[in-house]
A = this chain, B = another copy of it.
Amino acid sequence: MTAVSPAPPVATGAPAVLDRCRALVRPALGEAVGRLHPWVGEMARYALGWCEAGGASVAAPVAAPGGKGVRQALAVLGAEAAGAPGRDGVPAAVAVELVHTFSLVHDDIMDGDATRRGRPAVWRAYGTGPAVLAGDALFALAVETLAGAPGGAAAVGTLSTALGDLLRGQADDLVFATRPWTGPERVRPGEYRLMAERKTGALLGCAAALGARLGGAPPATADALDRAGRHLGTAFQVIDDVLGLWGDPAVTGKPVHADLRERKKTYPVLAALDSPGPAARRLAGLLDADGDPAEAAALAEAAGGAAAARDEARRHVREAAAALASVPLAGAAGGELRALAAFLTDRAR
């Protein structure tokens, strides 16, 4: 029963897996983006880190956390887990990478985030209206790419379910920021979990499941990969919250305590508020009074928020491993999927 063992060791192979899958997917992704309206295509290439604003090519693609191509790799490995060649998963990989890029472009508008991967966000570089259009076009291109692939039409439902979940999660995240920290209208940790699973987990799960479906996997395998991705996404989001509160901004690339300032409801703070003891009560009072974010972060840690979040992340990593262990996975795909899972979540430890 490796399924319920602690998080497996980080496989040294994860970067190599990502590189291999990126190289496999890149031509088809470039071909798909090349079908866009030229002006929209430039914005898409900028969003993908392939060019500067204005279209000048970059010496090397701009990469950063979130830009490592985890989703496309999951799709390729999903196909390989079904015993098919990785190329059978490429249309799924292209579709999920396009959806991921669309969601980043639009999320930056919604969240008012001016930078992404150390560069101006698309809406800052090209304007809000054009960024809305570029996101829409990436979204449509994703559906078109999958629908046009062999066996893809039957899988469009899987993609659209993930899309719907992703947008429900984004809506929850925005609405949670308007809800109070305390009292009957407060956000519960369980509500957070569902938000994180939808916002971050749905597309990771969809990536692996779509690849598996295009690779001819039985439904049970696709479902298990979907579950694994959803748990990994939840773990990833919880870890992201921890790093946003107590991580090094130079490493995370996010201003420290930005989530607290925006009244975003993050797991460590919700867990801290839910804990018994004086630190939780002082935290509640401070947050209700819009007090100093640094003091709030310290109180959240004192109230056990960091430890609870790390426990929560580990629990989801274990659930993901259990899902992967519940079905037969062909060849090296099982090990490579576990390596990717560890790569996604090792920041927690």
Contacts and interface: CB of A to CB of B under 8 A. Distances in A.
Given A148-B157, A157-B148, A174-B129, A167 B110 contact: no
A253 interface: no
A167 B140 contact: yes
Interface stretch (A158-166, A280-288, A303-311): A158-166
A34 to B, nearest CB: 13
A161 B132 contact: no
A171 interface: yes
Contacts of A153: 153-154, 156-157
A40 interface: yes
Contact of A110 (B37, B132, B144, B174): B132
A164 to B, nearest CB: 5
B171 A133 contact: yes
Contacts of A135: 132, 136
A141 interface: yes
Interface string A164-188: 1001101110110000000000000
Interface in A86-101: none
B167 A156 contact: no
Contacts of A148: 157
A40 B171 contact: yes
A128 B157 CA distance: 29
A147 B158 CA distance: 9
A35 B154 CA distance: 22
A164 B139 contact: no
B39 A175 contact: yes
A40 B143 CA distance: 22
Nearest to A162: B140
Interface in A185-233: none
Interface string A116-152: 0000000000001110110111011101100110000
12 contacts: A36-B168, A37-B171, A40-B171, A128-B128, A132-B132, A133-B170, A136-B139, A139-B139, A140-B160, A141-B164, A144-B160, A144-B164
Interface of A: 35-37, 39-40, 106, 109-112, 128-130, 132-133, 135-137, 139-141, 143-144, 147-148, 153-154, 156-157, 159-161, 163-164, 167-168, 170-172, 174-175
